[in-house]
Amino acid sequence: MPGMFDRINRRIDYLRISITDRCNLRCMYCMPHGGVSATSHVEILSYEETLRVVKVAAGLGISKVRLTGGEPLVRRGVAGFIRELSGVPGIEDLSLTTNGMLLAGMAEELKGAGVTRINISLDSLDPERFRELTRGGDLSAVLSGIQRAEELGFSPIKLNVVPIKGFNDDELVRFAALAIDKPYHVRFIEFMPIGNREMWDETRVVTTSEVMERVSALGALEPVENSEHDGPATLFRLPGGAGILGFISPLTDHFCGECNRLRLTADGKLRPCLFSESEIDLKTPMRAGCDDDELARLFAVALDVKPEGHNMAEGVKKSYKRTMSRIGG
């Protein structure tokens, strides 16, 4: 299979696809209080259009696909789409990121459709705090979804935690303890300035080093070697732990040199970097009748403009045109 390499010779084999910008939660760090206006259905790529992009991408060297949103499980027909996606030649790994609210009732269907790995966003283990953070979410529904995914054999199950100083950073040890008895990958992700700009403040960031220091109260952290599915996380295990602790440090320890991904937004823009405004429009050419060779050329453009790195730590007050819910988590 051919491979895709950008201009500094990074191999690009991973495509993150947002299939909707709609969500059934309104998390404080992701959206402003009033939410965001949803993109009209006609402006969102159809499943057929997205499938076409994936087929072209797979022919160029993409082998891993992750579906995101918004919340991907709110889009009607998602399981059928995943079943088609899992059958695309060259796609070897198909995963999904969800807030978990609908997971318990859909996990079996997702498993049967071809999803093997699930990431679940979970930023509090306190029901009232969870409801406040998500503006109405039900923690019990998410925990039921996690349990159901475990019963069905999804592996690994990754729980994504964004520590926010003064809000949920008193729960870090409690989160880390989940990886002692359960085979979960609990991943702590530094708070980034690309969600709700009303909430963003540099002083709210809990750095990876701070998190590691606090969770070490449970025991010495034992380094674990990364697998091909672990991405930019630095991994550790607690003594006797069944699971893994992961630390993702976009602010304090850039991992741009190993970046292997592109992103496709729900409205059909190919985005070479989460923290760059560069986007290549695939939807307009497709709807104008372009052939697959033209789509392949646009992928080449994305590789050419993919930046060597971001300067987010130096410019954390930068205002991004799109929030994370519109880019795809």
Q: What b-and-e string marks burial along 247-274, b requiring 16 or more CB atoms within 10 Å of the CB?
A: bbbbbeebebeebbbbbbbbbbbbbbbb
Burial class (CB in 10 A: 0-12, 13-18, 19+), 154: buried
pLDDT higher than 70, residue 179: yes
Whether residue 186 is contained in a domain is answered as: yes
pLDDT for the residue 211: 98
Q: What is the dihedral of CA 82, 283, 119, 2, to 10 degrees?
A: 80
Q: How far apart are CA 260 and CA 65, in angstroms?
A: 12
Whether residue 47 is contained in a domain is answered as: yes
Whether residue 5 is contained in a domain is answered as: no
Tokens coding 112: 């049967």
Residue type at 137 in one-letter notation: G
Whether residue 300 is contained in a domain is answered as: yes
pLDDT higher than 90, residue 2: no
Q: How far apart are CA 324 and CA 57, in angstroms?
A: 23
pLDDT higher than 80, residue 7: yes
Tokens coding 153: 């054999």
Which of helix, strand or coil describes residue 294?
Answer: helix
Domain containing 110 — which CATH number? 3.20.20.70
Whether residue 1 is contained in a domain is answered as: no
What pTM was estimated for this model as a whole? 0.92
Whether residue 8 is contained in a domain is answered as: no
pLDDT digits (tens, 9 = 90+) for 182-207: 999 999 999 987 655 566 678 899 99
Burial class (CB in 10 A: 0-12, 13-18, 19+), 42: exposed
Q: What angle do CA 166, 320, 324 make, to 5 degrees?
A: 65
Q: How far apart are CA 69 and CA 17, in angstroms?
A: 8
Question: What's the total number of domains in the chain?
Answer: 1
pLDDT for the residue 315: 47
Tokens coding 251: 């602010």
What number of CA atoms fall less than 13 Å from residue 83's CA on the CB side? 9
Domain that holds residue 252: 14-327
Q: Using alpha carbons, list the distances in angstroms from residue 286 to 41, 166, 317.
A: 16, 47, 36
* Rounded average pLDDT over 96-123: 97
- When the pLDDT of each residue in the chain is averaged and rounded to a whole number, the result is 91
Whether residue 4 is contained in a domain is answered as: no
pLDDT higher than 80, residue 326: no
For the chain, list the strands marked E by DSSP.
14-18, 64-68, 93-98, 117-121, 157-161, 185-189, 222-224, 234-237, 244-248, 261-264, 269-271, 280-281
Whether residue 3 is contained in a domain is answered as: no
By the 8 A CB rule, do 67 and 30 touch?
Answer: no
Measuring CA to CA, which residue among 92, 97, 86 is closest to residue 1? 92
Q: How far apart are CA 176 and CA 8, in angstroms?
A: 37
pLDDT higher than 70, residue 224: yes
Tokens coding 103: 């997971």
Q: How far apart are CA 60 and CA 161, in angstroms?
A: 33
Measuring CA to CA, which residue among 287, 63, 323 is closest to residue 199? 323
pLDDT higher than 70, residue 212: yes
Min mean pLDDT across 57-71, 128-142, 248-262 is at: 248-262
* Rounded average pLDDT over 24-52: 86
